[in-house]
Structure 1
């Protein structure tokens, strides 16, 4: 072969790659202009904008800085909070040109395995945003004391924890805590000694729901001692103000006055936090909401252990915030639903926490359900032309058009979802999965995808399987999918867990802090009927609220759905859920007049979600199935044969066959 021909081919390939890179670079420039108002320049300058190199992409300052410094000396590196880009200014235009040539289209090698690779796209800019020093005032009464305990004291306190103990009635606080509490008294952080201690341990990715400790249960001052890893705690005022406080290891947080009674506090469940960079010139190391843009980075969470000291209140609270004080007549948060004890209880729970919820969230829910699951599509592809398929619990109908050669009909309990099916041209009708108005033995195949886990008793789940079998012709097949308790199977995490974005600030709600909890320790009180700490209360007959994108801790739970603006639906026979105003901190509370407020429910002593979240939050009931449970349910139906069972992306699945004889 002619050498020149080979050389020309290689040059052509390089040119093709260069063209592709140029297209992507232009696209990123247009995106920056359209969404962020950033004008890029074709003329080289000392400054560049680095698309995909921002804190919002999970890129830390250390990762990006190391790559950029390879091209030359940096003058500034600005990383705006929660944005997918950064600005870099080099000491010379020559170094900026070099970065533009060699780093464009390059993948950034990540330090953490949890992070996805990102491809950097660099463009010149004429101007860089000025670093703005915005002052964020700490909540009144909130004090953070760094390095309050020494490393030696930290080790002693951690070693003193007995995680195996379940004794909630131990007398007195541990002796190991006395030196710390005495120092609090001497430094003026306490006026009286606490008599209650709660110890919790949080792994990376776990959090605490936004809440206010019950006024009537505890006195004013609450102390939180952070041991081990650092974290960020969010304080939110009812008017929408948010202050993110950086809690270093071995620090003491004193919560009193307005910060204790009025502001909610919580920790968002995620694996990375946006924190001040380790810069000796950092002006405000205690908060993450102010300071120049070049002082922020991402920090991976480790294991944090908290010691929370409280003083149990004897007399009613007389704080200066009566509108949120339960002792002064403020409404209490809704009570969590109980696990059903009979058919009527189960039906009521499903109406409130399944049927009404899906009607309310239908447009938003449908917008997130557009990709059919491959294994379900494979099942449908095996059906013969002219076969009759019933999709029981069809949702927005995404499986009704997978195999156009079959006669497909769907049904769902949500009239709002059925309307979406109708608008898409599918044959669907409103029906309960326990009573489908189709003739017995009229279907060649049935599918029930993510439906049966919404039934709240074993009897009702079994009835749903029997109804599918009733619809099948002899020789027909049914495919059932239910959510699995085991979200990590054969050392593989499901997409539900993998999609836990480390920089996602959407906070789920849970019944208690999602961490390991030791026994609550308190001294003896004359009033033995006094309500103990919320962290100590275990309500085994209540349905807990799950933190999104985390492993399940129980089988019966409520899963939050954060309703996005512009994706509101209408509940059948009821008023449309009111649109929020501009700051999205208020919404209608009368959309469900006959039941609990599904949007603001939380099984914690917390303020309503309308005060702690920018979006209304609904809660859907689920019974997540343990391994083997679905098979055990199906084999109770005599006229069926279990053909296959498998695990598919966090779901337990079975294929049933109705024998010909």
Structure 2
């Protein structure tokens, strides 16, 4: 073959690859976001990969688009990996479609991103409703001068002084110092009988007196926590312990602005911009009922214009961009409460609700025994049936694997039936699982897989470019074991390597658990019977299931219902202190046993024996798998205890809390 023919062959291959990716981008937008593209030219384009959600700012994208013509509008929805561009004429949008499709741009972190453009009739997205600040929340801009800011920042001595009780407590992802009283992160409380010597710094006292006089605050605080955040770090969503502090909690932002997310229990999230030198005042509902936290990331979505410096990030998509975070130091002042809390929110108040019994199990040995009986043995028994319900890969996990460079070495820790091992043929993937029977299924599919415990993977440290752990870590029965499983993932990674982790979420609701991944799939009655038992652990109606079963690897969209109404309710299992999860309900406990009904005959060569308890109305055996379902922020908090990790992304995906970690 001469050189010219070789060149044409390579060009055609490149063009085919590009076309495949453009079609994939189109389908992803339709499936995930409901954005319908059209095959004819219009003035409007959707730009896949060109969005605030994947690190592309307005100032980067707009000049690229404007080279092809007059851009009437550039709409950038918050946290979405796409945007919409409207050109003055169809000719200009056609020019952009031809010129910019497949164009490589560099985002603010220096990563290369390829744009994929498709025509749309109109810009459409899932809008947030009009939002107001949470009741009782106030942001006061320019509360202090830049001179006072400089003095306050210089007053904090971060050098460790072990003779001083105020010495720096170094948390994994931020530096912290306490005055007045030390805040204990283990109990989320203060020891009211042990005030720290010295009280609050003198410079703070004079500023607090001024705020009292001017009416910004009503009580003089006696406790101060100083936090210093590097870009990319944050703090999990939380409510300051009711019994620890009085109503008013105030926080001064110094050094850099930040977006803080406030979330109501019903799921409404309000992102609030806290400018540099501003004061956040939380009272009433915003203090007692709404969680507040800072998402770990290096950029925030903010208003592009100067008109909105503080308060809510509005849904004006023509005025959103990315803002690079700087080093922020917060001074959070509170008044220690000396009496029980009597707020109007008893359901979330530790003073007013009954104390829950100590969590089970109580030690590592008990945890190991619980996992042996209610995880390892169960998966051995149900492996074939479990595998028959595990075919459809989850789109965002596929996206993670397909974005990895060719030739990457990837470990799937807790690989189940190997559903993800063959997704990207350009990766070297290996799987491991505690279940010999599941590993045998992987080997039947000619995948590389072996049996091992996720706490001790027999693979050399630093040898993997990436790891995935899909619905595995929630099977470990103590905080320490869950953190150890995360640390083991990180040990396998080379510096710069990434890990994707999925765990079941406590917050999902049965009635809302209609998966967007499964919408519109039809299924035969025969196939319904085959997968009916796994609807029990899906939180999904059978009619919503995909053609070949369910979605997850070592478990699935979290277990919030069962195919039989009323069967297997929240009773006890012999010798267990744990509740059995009630079918078709939300979770009421974080540590639960989830029923698996072994039905049908998924492997005709190996008849299923009745291996579990037999009920009078249901001849199928029922097994109980142990789960610790994670609250919002809990997975990030566990990751933040690891010393050599940064959290690149954290998100909610169809009943799961998910993080992408990077080894530093």
> In which range does the TM-score fall when normalised by the shorter chain?
0.5 to 0.7
Q: Deviations over 1:150-180 (max 9, x none)?
A: 2222211111101224524232211121343
CA 1:449–1:299: 2 relative to 1, 3 Å: farther
Q: How far apart in 2 are the matches of 1:131 and 1:207?
A: 26
CA 1:313–1:9: 2 relative to 1, 3 Å: closer
Question: Which residues of 2 match residues 297-312 of structure 1 at below 5 A?
Answer: 297-312=321-336
User: Larger relative contact order (C-alpha < 8 A, sep ≥ 6)?
Assistant: 1
CA 1:419–1:450: 2 relative to 1, 3 Å: closer
Specify the alignment match of 1:167 in structure 2: 165
Q: How far apart in 1 are the matches of 2:213 and 2:299?
A: 36
**Structure 1 unmatched runs, 5+:** 339-344, 372-376, 379-392, 403-409, 428-445, 454-478, 501-505, 510-540, 602-608, 627-648, 652-661
CA 1:351–1:55: 2 relative to 1, 3 Å: farther
CA 1:600–1:23: 2 relative to 1, 3 Å: closer
1:563 maps onto 2:504 in alignment: yes
Specify the alignment match of 2:342 in structure 1: 318
Report which stretch shifted further, 156-165 or 232-241. Answer: 232-241
1:420 maps onto 2:400 in alignment: no
1:186 maps onto 2:213 in alignment: yes
Partners of 2:432 and 2:451 within 8 A in 1 = no
Give the TM-score of the pair, scaled to structure 1: 0.59
**Structure 2 unmatched runs, 5+:** 167-195, 402-407, 423-430, 492-499, 506-512, 514-537, 539-555, 563-571, 595-625, 645-661
CA 1:97–1:71: 2 relative to 1, 3 Å: same
Specify the alignment match of 1:346 in structure 2: 364
Structure 2 counterpart SS, 1:591:
strand
Specify the alignment match of 1:389 in structure 2: none
Partners of 1:322 and 1:330 within 8 A in 2 = no
Q: How far apart in 2 are the matches of 1:222 and 1:65?
A: 41
Partners of 1:148 and 1:250 within 8 A in 2 = yes
Q: How far apart in 2 are the matches of 1:184 and 1:548?
A: 47
Give the TM-score of the pair, scaled to structure 2: 0.59
Specify the alignment match of 1:387 in structure 2: none
1:200 maps onto 2:247 in alignment: no
Question: Which residues of 2 match residues 213-228 of structure 1 at below 5 A?
Answer: 213-228=240-255
Partners of 2:141 and 2:277 within 8 A in 1 = yes
1:119 maps onto 2:148 in alignment: no
Specify the alignment match of 1:278 in structure 2: 304
Partners of 1:108 and 1:119 within 8 A in 2 = yes
Q: How far apart in 2 are the matches of 1:547 and 1:62?
A: 42
Partners of 1:560 and 1:618 within 8 A in 2 = no
Specify the alignment match of 1:152 in structure 2: 147
Question: Which residues of 2 match residues 95-134 of structure 1 at below 5 A?
Answer: 95-113=92-110, 115=111, 117-129=112-124, 134=129
CA 1:196–1:28: 2 relative to 1, 3 Å: closer
**How far does residue 322 in structure 1 lie from its aligned partner after superposition?**
2.1
Within the candidate set 64, 68, 74, 1:67 is matched to 64
**How far does residue 326 in structure 1 lie from its aligned partner after superposition?**
2.1
**How far does residue 94 in structure 1 lie from its aligned partner after superposition?**
3.2
1:287 maps onto 2:287 in alignment: no
Partners of 1:396 and 1:418 within 8 A in 2 = no
**How far does residue 307 in structure 1 lie from its aligned partner after superposition?**
0.8
Specify the alignment match of 2:541 in structure 1: none
Q: Deviations over 1:556-615 (max 9, x none)?
A: xxx98522774047999888655776xxx745557259xxx97367xxxxxxx2xx47xx
Specify the alignment match of 1:599 in structure 2: 628
CA 1:161–1:351: 2 relative to 1, 3 Å: farther
Partners of 1:495 and 1:650 within 8 A in 2 = no
**How far does residue 24 in structure 1 lie from its aligned partner after superposition?**
3.8
Specify the alignment match of 1:33 in structure 2: 30
Which structure is larger by alpha-carbon Rg, 1 or 2? Answer: 1
CA 1:154–1:561: 2 relative to 1, 3 Å: same
CA 1:151–1:110: 2 relative to 1, 3 Å: same
Q: How far apart in 2 are the matches of 1:269 and 1:599?
A: 23
CA 1:200–1:620: 2 relative to 1, 3 Å: closer
Q: Deviations over 1:283-318 (max 9, x none)?
A: x84223x32222222333332211110111112222
Q: Deviations over 1:494-532 (max 9, x none)?
A: 747xx99xxxxx9x99xxxxxxxxxxxxxxxxxxxxxxx
Partners of 2:41 and 2:90 within 8 A in 1 = yes
Structure 2 counterpart SS, 1:89:
strand
CA 1:316–1:553: 2 relative to 1, 3 Å: farther
CA 1:200–1:359: 2 relative to 1, 3 Å: farther
Within the candidate set 90, 95, 99, 1:93 is matched to 90
Partners of 2:592 and 2:627 within 8 A in 1 = no
Q: Deviations over 1:309-343 (max 9, x none)?
A: 011111222212222222223446967988xxxxx
Question: Which residues of 2 match residues 9-88 of structure 1 at below 5 A?
Answer: 17-18=14-15, 20-88=17-85
Q: Deviations over 1:363-397 (max 9, x none)?
A: 79x979999xxxxx99xxxxxxxxxxxxxx98747
CA 1:197–1:100: 2 relative to 1, 3 Å: same
CA 1:246–1:308: 2 relative to 1, 3 Å: same
